[in-house]
Amino acid sequence: MGNIKVPYLDLKAQYQSIKPEIDAAIARVLESCQFVLGPEVAGFEQEFARYCGAAECIALNSGTSALHLALLAAGVGAGDEVITVPFTFVASVAAVIYTGARPVLVDIDPQSFTMDPAAIEAVITPRTKAILPVHLYGQTADMDPIMAVARRRGLVVIEDAAQAHGAKYKGRPAGSIGDMACFSFYPGKNLGAYGEGGAVTTSNAEYARTIRMLRDWGQDLKYHHVLRGYNYRMEGFQGAILRVKLRHLEAWTEARRTIVSHYNELLVDSGVETPTEMPWARHVYHVYTLRIEDRDGLHAALQAEGIQTGIHYPVPAHLQPAYADLGYGKGAFPRAEAAAEQVLSLPLYPELSSQAVTEVAGEVKKAVAHRTQTAVSR
């Protein structure tokens, strides 16, 4: 792309808005030299647990590590099966494979883009250990029916809440609904570190204890390794930065929601399908995703106007070459496959100006009208 008029994301704008607080937090870590775990990480754990309505938070070095350790704490291993979705960032599926278990996929609900609870029961086998719904784009999956089937069949539920900080399901925060929940603090996330970061939240003390050990080489006492663990610890800098940013998260989420209302108003009757906030949800709009048949045409038209967009995600997990051996072919999950061909994410970040939103929506409408006209006159 030549000139970028509206970037997809602008992390510099956010840093500028909180620079003194961030700089002071970084200085505190430098002064204390507590670079790995330490008091800032412990403080963040307490504050984020409270924010999520969970008893415990275990801070880690990525969202992928969070999924990996939550699955291990649930006892998932070789020979087991975990039910998840193909329409997600690939980490949801990859983490299951890390444990030696097999990801068993079910299609999504086309309106929410999240796990279709009605599809779960049919794929449960005696080897099924857990269900891993993904709160895609910042909206929770329909958790009540998922929890009901899990309780009936004795399965552990792990929320993939990597995109859903502050999201709610019927008033309950993401991170407090399943047995465990996994968050990512990758820089572009709604709550983003200045590097890699992740966490598990849970109200189960035993899971929390196991994950704390696993993140730090499986030690219960220094150099006493009771579990085969990992080096998945959060860095002190990230803990200190996340504490600052957590204080702003609600205001940022409200800013996102205001921008989304504006986009929705401007795009009404424009020929694109705007996202649906499901009746159960407080959607936190990690991404604002349109749906349109000629997605690639709209993508190219916006790119030509200097508007950066994203595609989340162009290829569902079951059609990725790396996961071909799961044995699902094209046509296995038609709703996920259709979504992958039709979704396009518009620029969205809390600092995005109302003028930029108007400009982006205007270009979307222009491009769609132009393509419709061209199609009709052909």
Ligand X SMILES: Cc1ncc(COP(=O)(O)O)c(C=O)c1O
Ranges within 190-209 binding ligand X (CB under 6 A): 198
Cβ at position 23, least distance to ligand X in Å: 24
Whose Cβ is closer to ligand X: residue 198's or residue 239's? 198
Angle at Cα 218 formed by Cα 214 and Cα 220, nearest 5°? 115
Q: Which stretch binds ligand X (CB under 6 A): 20-28, 85-93, 114-122, 243-251?
A: 85-93
Site size with ligand X, rule: CB under 6 A: 14
Are the C-beta atoms of residues 175 and 52 closer than 8 Å to each other?
Answer: yes
Ranges within 116-145 binding ligand X (CB under 6 A): 134
Give 344's strand partners.
290
What are the backbone dihedrals phi and psi of residue 135, each rounded to the nearest 5 degrees, phi first? -85, 75
Question: Per-residue x/- marks for ligand X, 161-180, CB under 6 A?
Answer: -xx-----------------
Whose Cβ is closer to ligand X: residue 184's or residue 309's? 184
And the tokens for 92? 């949801």
Whose Cβ is closer to ligand X: residue 89's or residue 333's? 89
- CB neighbours of residue 286 within 10 Å: 27
Whose Cβ is closer to ligand X: residue 155's or residue 191's? 191
Ranges within 89-108 binding ligand X (CB under 6 A): 89, 91-92
Q: Does the footprint of ligand X cover residue 64 (CB under 6 A)? A: yes
Whose Cβ is closer to ligand X: residue 88's or residue 309's? 88
Instruction: Name the closest residue to ligand X (Cβ).
Output: 63
Q: Does the footprint of ligand X cover residue 345 (CB under 6 A)? A: no
CA–CA distance from 248 to each of 58, 166, 182, 219, 257 (Å)?
21, 12, 21, 35, 14
Q: Applying CB under 6 A, which of residues 34, 88, 128, 342 lies at the interface with ligand X? A: 88
Whose Cβ is closer to ligand X: residue 61's or residue 210's? 61
Q: Does the footprint of ligand X cover residue 160 (CB under 6 A)? A: yes
Q: Applying CB under 6 A, which of residues 63, 173, 236, 316 lies at the interface with ligand X? A: 63
Closest CA to 101 of 83, 89, 113: 83
Whose Cβ is closer to ligand X: residue 133's or residue 347's? 133
Q: Which stretch binds ligand X (CB under 6 A): 50-58, 159-167, 266-274, 340-348?
A: 159-167
**Distance between CA 344 and CA 143 in Å, rounded?**
26
Whose Cβ is closer to ligand X: residue 134's or residue 208's? 134
Cβ at position 198, least distance to ligand X in Å: 5
Cβ at position 217, least distance to ligand X in Å: 20
Binding site for ligand X (CB under 6 A): 62-64, 88-89, 91-92, 134, 160, 162-163, 184, 186, 198
